[in-house]
Amino acid sequence: MKPVRWWAICWFVGVLALVTVGAAGLVAAQQSAEYKVGVVTSLSGELAFGGNVTKRGYDLWADTLNKAGGILIGGKRYKVRLIYADDQSTPATAAVAGERLITQEKVDFILGPYASGTTLALAPITEKYRVPHITGSAESPLIWKGKFKYTFGTIPTVTIIAQASIQTLAQDVTPKPQTLAILGIDDAFSKFAAEAFRTAAQRFGIKVLRFDIVPEGSDYTPAVSAAKALNPDIFAMGSHEKAAIEMIKAAKELKFNPKAFVQHYGMTTPDFRKGLGKDAEYVFGTSVWTPNLNYQAKILFKTPREYAAAFKARFGSDPDYTEAASTAAGIAFQEALRAINAAPPLTQAQKDALIGALERLDLMTFYGPIRFATSGDYYHDNAGLQPIALQYQGGVTVEVGPGKLRLKAPKYPTPPWDKR
């Protein structure tokens, strides 16, 4: 028997220790790996109200998913980490912010901005770097007509949604309104909301007396005064919530009291209620989601009511459809990642495969079905949801139509300012 050489034993033990430590480190690295999710949205500037709407929706997705352990890929769970970039409510900053997230933060995919203008600026950047991008908010049809391969959206275009309140007023109240005046803001979302009101009015036989598009941030009093002079039955505002608040305040100041105020998006947000107080009462708006819908799901939140309860527990307010759609955008990514079995960090081939998985997605969620169009004018938009007309009644929004979607009768006409 040969004598044991102590130097050989020490060498073997040392190598074993290094291998063990290295393997443990590798396992630890694999277990601690996470998806880096870039988020571009408006956290300051004119659209900060809405930017925080998207942030609440994205945050609730990430928090809930991570508490559940993360996304299950190949028998392991991977958490997500949101990395925010403030677009400061401007398209140019949105593009810069997106490029920084991609080139410096090396994010795996991106959750997109609140506004359509900033989304239209970000989409060419995600296209250039071939990074998947879903917006949980933007509604301009220009996004989908651009046919960006790497950009998707969970909310139908405003040209589909915004008509529901006009349809309800045309079909579900007596006497039917006969005339309408429209004031819209000149941005990629708001002017299409205004166009949708005009299209719906023409479709349902309501005469359009005036159609104005004005710059954002301007003094809206002259345009509101011009509408008042024509005494329309309906005054429709194509705008985000901040401009709508200012228009309604101008109307009250001018004692302009049409039979219905109509706004598309913004009237469901806490800031709209806070900004107008009791003057938000009777305002009509539209949505594609409310907690009262009967969807049944198996991913993160089983029903709209369960989602609403979790949201209120987290943020102290009721969710609106943009918050729900932003959470649903995260769910779309997580299910597409599971479908292609892609663990982080994603390679370029996996990012490209993720696009195909998103195109094939056919999900039922608490928000409703998610199926992205793969051709036509709504390319990569989740365009199949049912628009719902809402109205403020008793300090909350209620579903008033159209038709069978009504849970409460619409209140029409709106009482005079001094009798509310």
Per-residue pLDDT tens digits for 121-162: 999 999 999 999 999 999 999 999 999 999 999 999 999 999
- Asked whether the beta carbons of 161 and 285 are under 8 A apart, the reply is no
pLDDT of the residue at 265: 84
The whole-number pLDDT of residue 367 equals 98
* Beta bridge partners of residue 401, listed in sequence order: 389
Cis omega (within 30 of 0) on the bond before 113? no
Residue pair 102/85 in contact by the 8 Å Cβ criterion? no
What CA–CA distance (Å, rounded) separates 279 from 12?
Answer: 80
Give the 3-state secondary structure of residue 68: coil
Q: At what angle do helices 48-67 and 321-340 cross, to 10 degrees?
A: 40
Please state, rounded to an integer, the average pLDDT across all residues of the chain.
Answer: 92
Q: What is the pLDDT of residues 314-352, one digit of tens each?
A: 999 999 999 999 999 999 999 999 999 999 999 999 999
Instruction: Provide the pLDDT for residue 166.
Output: 97
Q: How confident is the model at residue 23 (pLDDT cuts 50, 70, 90)?
A: very low
- Cβ proximity of 135 and 154 under 8 Å: yes
pLDDT computed for residue 206 by the predictor = 98
What proportion of the chain, given as a percentage, has pLDDT over 70? 92
Q: The pTM is what?
A: 0.87
pLDDT of residue 28: 41
pLDDT at 8: 52
Asked whether the predicted pLDDT for residue 189 surpasses 50, the reply is yes
- The rounded percent of the chain whose pLDDT value lies above 90 is 87
User: What is the bridge-based pairing of β-strands 396-401 and 388-393?
Assistant: antiparallel
Q: To which residue do tokens 């309604």 refer?
A: 248
List, in order, residues 6 or more apart from 20 with CB less than 8 Å away. none
The DSSP symbol for 179 reads E
**Is the confidence at residue 420, as pLDDT, over 90?**
no
- The answer to whether residues 146 and 177 touch, using CB atoms and an 8 Å cutoff, is no
Residue 355, pLDDT > 70, answer yes
Average pLDDT over residues 20-48: 72
Question: What number of other Cβ atoms are within 10 A of residue 195's Cβ?
Answer: 19
Answer whether 397's CB lies under 8 Å from 390's CB: yes
> Is residue 113 left, alpha or beta, with left meaning phi > 0 and alpha meaning psi from -120 to 50?
beta
pLDDT in tens, 394-412: 999 999 999 999 999 999 9
Residue pLDDT, tens place only, 257-311: 999 999 988 888 888 999 999 999 999 999 999 999 999 999 999 999 999 999 9
Q: State the average pLDDT over residues 90-118.
A: 97
Q: What is the largest CA-CA distance in the chain?
A: 112
pLDDT at residue 25 above 70? Answer: no
